[in-house]
Structure 1
């Protein structure tokens, strides 16, 4: 009897229908089993209901013929599919009268947090089986597992229960409890202190709240990392490769308990990859196990691989998996006698890593990735030196990256340093990729497993000859060269090639400030001064102001004193910019404030304006012409901003406190606006005067200005330091390079002999 006849009139509940295997399974049922209906358990996601997500699936190209036959998406849904909204943690009551349940859902990540893996792969399976037993106890339950539940064994693996004595209930209880234990540990003084100090080293210049937010982000990441590590270590201690295979094995134990009173089939595919034929050759959703490695090799980012050349990569096309599942679903085993099927290729049609490399290399030799101006990617030659050698190479590269990272984050800013930082970031992404896949895949590529599929082939040979043609799953006939070179690689790389085109186009049109600014009276344009508008710093401007008042001997002494203090100033500035500014401004003690203003007006005004970037001037004037309110927010002292007053509607600067004689006390009249205080001032000012910060602009050069930049909708990084440049790249903010005119002498300091005669007498 044909498969379509054996499944005619059946109601099949499918979990995981929005996933790779579930979607392929749904496609096959709708396209080739016209008298079979589906019940889909679909999890709502965000604002989308389960039904809306089901509609999204049905609107995909592979369902076009089914949609057309039904008269549209809505009609197809009404005629063939019942949607039950829920997920494995909150399964609602299931419909009665179900004939078959195919459980495809699960956490397929190799290294999920241990509590999440148990909640999905073990407890979710238990809850589903309980609901099935309550609604349709005579259902045939098909459990989609993985061949790798066998663990770190060697040799031939039979199609049957895995031999182990691990109690799934004890492990599930432990796994669920780990979340609370790790969360509690993460709040211990030692851990909190370590994470806080790390955050402060990076963000203290921006402010304590910015650092605190980053410390909490780090704590959450630490929790996730420890939950992943705990699961991985527990899995390996019990003989499994990772949390995924461990929890899937525990899930099978749950299934085996219910198999005593239900009809149960356990399907164990190996590495599922793109379709050989159906829905179409190469069809795939997302990237599967081998695909990131293929892409990395093609992009020149995988210099070596830790596998043995004669080791086997056990691959099975997704359509073979789906066909085998449907064939197994059509045969209900007796209660108490679960059926096990391996859907694999290694035992009868081995695909060695030497051949994998040969075919992938052949494909990319003929179809290289185009890296634009750099031409085609240069492909690495794998020599398969072994896992230990690859690990040593990777460890050396990680140490080199650590040194390079220290250099770029401590070197003086500049275009050249940012270029180096870009290369360091690319190296970091590459190393993180290699480390992740080295750690995850090494146990798989070094495994010496052969998944026997004798029972699956018996199932195959029981099919009608026509079904063997229409629903094939004999992997022994797969031509791996054809599959890899002509089917799999072209489809896996297609999306990446499209992305590269978009990325190159985006690179050519990097984010910039709009030339035509929107005209509006509700927009602010806030500018930092030192390092943004003009090339200067606090120590330099202090010398500008102090030198004219000193004779030659005093100048030499003052410059010598400042040079000796520079290392301390740098350390202070990295710790707390506000404290740094105060320490510099202490040296104004005894200066006459009015005299400082006179020096600025008569001597320094021209010097300051020469330092202002022409591009900066144009941008300020463009904002004014557009009706925007221009604001200068600086930690520099007020007298130094006097030459810039005509450019700005509002200037916020450090105010030097004076005594009753007008002499500077060495203190400020209020805290300097730095870091988070700038953002706070801007938010308050906008609220008081009715400006819309989401439409407003801010220009700054330092990571300490990050809060101010994040407070507006249109931030611009100007000649940024490495930390700010990285944030700008992540947020796709415009990055401008405003250079001072080459006519401005960076080393020039106005002296007393430049003062008018009446001022020096």
Structure 2
């Protein structure tokens, strides 16, 4: 029997992984590393998060205090001596500060705490797999390319945000300094919404599409492609890697790939249909960031109460990513037998419906915490 430790189960991806395993009626024992002053507080946070994934109360209540390990990667020393860790056979490490803002804990959690945790687990004799969740964007891809999995060789100047640099750094540290760790690196592409629940689990990144289409202009072309997957597909892939053979010391993209990536024009059409408004079509304008910043006086009228400075920072950051026009090759993962993901445009109506009562300023808070 596997003894699986999941980190980040109060978050978007970690919550989806936990929901996946619970829905399967998994007989393996689950341990959940969670922040909290008490085990009861940690359990409450996990159960609240699980309800966003559409689970029944009976399934949610299958998570009890026996599953909880209190701990925080920001203070890894507070839990790494827990003797329960010596029984863990599999780790899915989803925990991270996934902020595109200047969160002071990005390096503390994503690099220092994660390495301290990985080093501790590398000394567990029964550990079979340590699945670390990175990001496909950590490789600083060349524009207009099909990106294959490779070792990372980059520097801080190549990264648009501290988050992707932190993810690149921890991958390199674990690979070079922990050769005994049974490591698998999973690099999701752009994770947006849930194929059934829309943005109820999280509105992360979805607001960018709303923002650009509300403005009627952005820094990418309508025919540029973007590699988007739903969080439940990402969870499916991580759970598959738990039992897959011959995958140690490998890197896997969890991505839409060439078949399921979509153009911004397709997203425009799908979102217009879902919201009952005309598509932008030829009325869309590709502009520079300078031209976007000149529109700042319109922001409050278009978006409601908002911080213009943060909105402009968001447009600058996500504008860089949108201009890349890259697709992440997923052939390695598909060879393991996983189905192809849903296209973003196949479930974007659920994302629109689940966010219709929220402003863009409210939705974007999750990415700039």
How far is the alpha carbon of 1:28 from its aligned partner?
A: 1.3
2:70 equivalent among 75, 79, 85: 85
Q: How does 1:247-286 map to 2 (within 5 A)?
A: 247-258=166-177, 260-276=179-195, 280-282=196-198, 284-286=200-202
How far is the alpha carbon of 1:438 from its aligned partner?
A: 1.4
Change over 3 Å in CA distance of 1:296–1:136 after alignment to 2 = same
Return 5+ residue gaps in structure 2 as ranges.
363-369
Q: How does 1:266-415 map to 2 (within 5 A)?
A: 266-276=185-195, 280-282=196-198, 284-289=200-205, 291-296=206-211, 300=214, 302-331=215-244, 333=246, 338-364=249-275, 366=276, 383-388=283-288, 391-398=289-296
2:12 equivalent among 20, 28, 48: 20
1:153 equivalent among 118, 121, 142: 142
Assess if the C-alpha contact under 8 Å between 1:141 and 1:265 holds in 2: yes
1:34 equivalent among 18, 26, 32: 26
How far is the alpha carbon of 1:138 from its aligned partner?
A: 2.9
Assess if the C-alpha contact under 8 Å between 1:137 and 1:262 holds in 2: no
- After alignment, is 55-64 or 317-326 more displaced? 55-64
1:125 is the counterpart of 2:117: no
Count of residue correspondences? 354
Q: What residue number does 1:446 align with? A: 323
Change over 3 Å in CA distance of 1:257–1:33 after alignment to 2 = farther
Return 5+ residue gaps in structure 1 as ranges.
1-8, 167-234, 369-377, 402-422, 461-471, 500-761
Describe the SS at the equivalent of 1:491: helix
Q: Which has the higher helix share?
A: 1
1:142 is the counterpart of 2:131: yes
Assess if the C-alpha contact under 8 Å between 2:268 and 2:281 holds in 1: no
Q: What residue number does 1:559 align with? A: none
> How far apart in 2 are the matches of 1:438 and 1:384?
16
Write out per-residue CA displacement over residues 267-322 of structure 1, whole angstroms, 9 at most, x where no aligned residue: 1111112222xxx4426323211x22344467x4x231221112112100111100
How far is the alpha carbon of 1:162 from its aligned partner?
A: 2.0
Q: What residue number does 1:99 align with? A: 89
Greater relative CO (CA pairs within 8 A, separation 6+):
2
Change over 3 Å in CA distance of 1:449–1:65 after alignment to 2 = closer
> How far apart in 1 are the matches of 2:33 and 2:24?
21
- TM-score, structure 2 normalization: 0.84
Change over 3 Å in CA distance of 1:50–1:112 after alignment to 2 = farther
How far is the alpha carbon of 1:22 from its aligned partner?
A: 0.8
Change over 3 Å in CA distance of 1:108–1:432 after alignment to 2 = same
Assess if the C-alpha contact under 8 Å between 1:307 and 1:384 holds in 2: no
Write out per-residue CA displacement over residues 678-734 of structure 1, whole angstroms, 9 at most, x where no aligned residue: xxxxxxxxxxxxxxxxxxxxxxxxxxxxxxxxxxxxxxxxxxxxxxxxxxxxxxxxx
- TM-score, structure 1 normalization: 0.43
> How far apart in 2 are the matches of 1:11 and 1:67?
24
How far is the alpha carbon of 1:242 from its aligned partner?
A: 1.6
How far is the alpha carbon of 1:395 from its aligned partner?
A: 3.5
1:483 is the counterpart of 2:360: no
Q: How does 1:499-510 map to 2 (within 5 A)?
A: none
> How far apart in 2 are the matches of 1:139 and 1:35?
18
Larger radius of gyration: 1
How far is the alpha carbon of 1:33 from its aligned partner?
A: 3.8
Q: How does 1:563-602 map to 2 (within 5 A)?
A: none
Q: What residue number does 2:314 align with? A: 437
> How far apart in 2 are the matches of 1:429 and 1:382?
28
RMSD: 3.2
How far is the alpha carbon of 1:340 from its aligned partner?
A: 1.1
Q: What residue number does 1:617 align with? A: none
> How far apart in 1 are the matches of 2:267 and 2:142?
23
Q: What residue number does 1:752 align with? A: none
